[in-house]
Structure 1
Amino acid sequence: MKSLTLKFASVFLSLSLANVAMAKTDLIIGFDPTYTPFEYKNADGSYAGFDYALGNALCKKMNLNCVWKEVDFDSSIAALRARKIDAILSAMSITDERSKQVDFTVPVYDVPTALVVKSSSNLELSSLPPGTSVGVTQGTTQESYALKVLQPKGVKVVSYESQDHVYQDLSNGRLDSTLTNAATASEGFLKLPQGKEYKISEPTISDIHYFGKGVGIAFRKGDAEHTQLFNAAIIDMKSKGEIAELSKKYFSFTVD
């Protein structure tokens, strides 16, 4: 079955590429470059990150001219539906709630969620005491989990516009912890000077009910042309190990 799926994807991609010259070749991809290592800005203002590199690789494979546009993660679906952007590639998990508003590609990769705390702390996600403050990014699955599961237990959930702002308050002692993607915690905070006194509280979690079925690329409802084209390209890259190889440049572990 797997070989048939890969064969179909290859055929579909070939047929689609044969016709791409007759279609619109500009694609505006919305992303929030405050989520290291998935998407971020270098000191010179240029974009970088795994999602950024992955998106460019997919667009090159499909001969699409992709233009990147900054949007706040929390407003990205609204921007997509308002046609301000054509796609979202910003570490967005595929959830049932989001799938009511947008169409997702097949899962591109999956990374668990982690609680980040002081290295000297014994805080664990399963037993956070009432009054413990947890920082989350607005519009994320982590925020949804925290509000639905942790807040009713007396945990103080504090929402921010970006994960960078969460890390600032965490390192300044205004927060006890943050609930975030394990990769951005490991690569975008713990390895930096401000994160040296922090750790990931094990175990991490990957509950599909709250955190979805992996990360996908979102398109407007009914945009079957782009969704199917990207599906074929994603499956093709996975079958060749290209996504796993690319992830090694940004993570201390492979994702696929």
Structure 2
Amino acid sequence: MKTLFRCFFLLMLTVFGVSVLSSFLIIEKAGKPKLLLPYKQAGLTERQAAAHLLSRFTFGARPGDVDKVVKMGLENWLEQQLDGNLPDDSVDAMLDKFDALKMSNAQIANTFPKGGQVQRMAIRDGVIERDSVNNVRKEYRDKLQAYMQQKGLRPEQELLRQFYNQKILRAAYSNNQLHEVLTDFWFNHFNVSVTKNDCSQFIPNYERDVIRPNVTAKFGDLLLATAKSPAMLYYLDNFTSTGVNTNQQHWLVLRSKTHRTIRR
């Protein structure tokens, strides 16, 4: 009897081990476990679940989106959104006219200077008098506008218009809706102001190079990227932070430790 029980136990253990190993191999082959959404347990039909997904993971369902998600399969659609690699040719074509989105921070600063900077440059070059800075006459404005055209300068408002317009176009037409929702979420969470200091000139690249590439990365990577970005450094006034020279501070610490050691 004991022998029979032992054989049965070993058989069951073997079956269990093989089943676990098989599951593991399936996961390894696929690279990740199969996604199963429990919408039926929640009492939802497939169309109701598709509408719920679209309301949570996009900026809103567009005509035909529910049918598209149902046809594709809810899990397949969500996995595509998590990957965020769907082609966006039509959106890219719309954004191609926004040249500021391709510029570096230095190029933006040299192309879209603030109004005060333009005035100082015009005074320096003898285009306007210092006493006429507060002049609101059309003649004064025309001089500044002609000076900007001559120097290849453009108003800062145009930079912000391009930035706002690209956000709206991406939200409305991008196929990678979840990434756009997350980009908007993290941009608002790690907020910087367009009205403080020189933040506005750094904001387009803040979203492009800091927020957007890290929306599905580790939180620590996103946090570090925002903390090191020029936009956040200006917004938090960290660009004015000063302290004791690092090498001098290190030398003082070593000297203090040496003195304590000698006294012992």
Whether the TM-score (by the shorter chain) exceeds 0.5 is no
Higher strand share: 1
**How does the TM-score come out when normalised to structure 2?**
0.26
**How does the TM-score come out when normalised to structure 1?**
0.26
